Structure 1
C-alpha cells in the first residue's frame, strides 16, 4: 500500500483513514456498510486502472456502475491511488525491473561467450534500466564538493579592532564606523 504508517482511529476520522486502517488490521478496525461500499468502489477504481483504463474511462465506468457523480468518481480514483499506489508508476517500475533482469542475463551470457562487444552492450543496457526511479535519482556534481578557498580582505581599522578583541577579549562594534569597498557578486543559481 502507498501509505506506510498505521493511524490511530478516532471519532471524526475520515473514511479514508478508517479504510486504510481496515486494510492494515481488519479484525481491529471493522467497517460500516457505507465504508464497505466506499472500499469496494476504490478497489474497482484501482482494478480499472490496472486494466489500462484511462482516468476518464475509469471514471465513466464508476459513474455508470455505482450511479455516482463525475466528481465523486474522480475522488474515488484519487483515493484509490492514495490507498494502493499509482498504477502507472508501478507498471513502469516493474517493466524497468524486468528489462534490467534481462540485461543482466544478457551480460552473463556475453561473459560466458567471451564476447567483449556484447558485454559492452549489456553493461550499457543495465546502466539504462538500473535507474528505475529517475525522479529521486541523485545528480552528482563533484565540482560542488571542491574546497574552494574563501578570500577576504578587511580594512586596517577593522583589523585593528579584531586585534584589540584578541588582546582584551571584548569588541565594541557600536563605536566602529568603517566605510569599506565591496564588489557585487552575481548569483548564478549554484550553491
Structure 2
C-alpha cells in the first residue's frame, strides 16, 4: 500500500486506477482505454473551468468523442468523475474569490486605519470576517461533533418498572407500573 492506495487486479474501477496513476505514475500504468478515459475527464474539467454547465459539458463530450460512442449517461459520469478527481470547479472558484475579497478588504482596512476613518475600518473588518472559510468561523464549535455518552436519570420506581419489564423482553412505556402523584387540575384562567 503506497500513498494510501492499493490496487487489486480485477476489483478496481477506472477511477481507482487513474487516481493511483496520478499518485504514482512510475508504479501504475494505464491501459489505452484508461488513457482515453483520463483524456475525457481532463477535457470535461477544462470545460467546467470555462464556466460551462455540466449539461453543456456532457453534450460537448458526446460530440467530441463520438468515435467512442459516448452515451449521455457516460458523459455525465465523466463530468462527475473529473470533478471528483481534479476537484470541484465551482468550490475552488468560490474559495479563490473569497481569498481575493479578503485581500482587498484587508488593504482597504489598512488604508482606512491610516486615514483615521475608524467607521470605514470597522466595515472592512466585517468584510474580512465574512471572507473567512466557514471552518474558521467563530460560530463553528468542534466540540459539538464529539460523540458524548447520553445519560438518563429517572426515579427509582421508574427504574424498577423498566428492569421488571426488561425481564419479559418487551418494554412498554405506556404501561409502566408507577404510582401516580396526586395533583390538582388548573383552569386555563
TM-score normalised by structure 1 residue count: 0.69
- The Cα shift of 1:128 comes to 2.0
SS of 1:47's partner is helix
In structure 2, what is the equivalent of residue 186 of structure 1? none
1:46-103 Cα deviation digits (max 9, x unpaired): 0000011111110111000011111110010011111111101110111011101111
How many residues align structurally? 151
Unaligned runs of 5+ in 2: 145-152, 158-162, 165-176, 183-189
2:10 corresponds to 1:8 = no
Q: Give the alignment's Cα RMSD to 1 decimal.
A: 3.0
Higher relative contact order (CA 8 A, sep 6+): 1
In structure 1, what is the equivalent of residue 93 of structure 2? 91
- The Cα shift of 1:114 comes to 1.6
Distance in 2, Cα, partners of 1:153 & 1:63: 65
1:123-149 Cα deviation digits (max 9, x unpaired): 12112222x348x967469xx9xxxxx
Counterparts of 1:1-191 in structure 2, within 5 Å, are 6-12=4-10, 13-67=12-66, 68-130=70-132, 132-133=133-134, 139=139, 154=155, 178-181=178-181
Distance in 1, Cα, partners of 2:137 & 2:125: 19
SS of 1:53's partner is coil
Q: Is the 8 A contact 1:110 1:116 kept in 2?
A: yes
Q: Is the 8 A contact 1:63 1:73 kept in 2?
A: yes
SS of 2:131's partner is helix
Residues 138/38 of structure 1: CA separation in 2 closer, same or farther (3 Å cut): farther
Residues 153/39 of structure 1: CA separation in 2 closer, same or farther (3 Å cut): closer
TM-score normalised by structure 2 residue count: 0.70
SS of 2:107's partner is helix
Distance in 2, Cα, partners of 1:43 & 1:36: 10
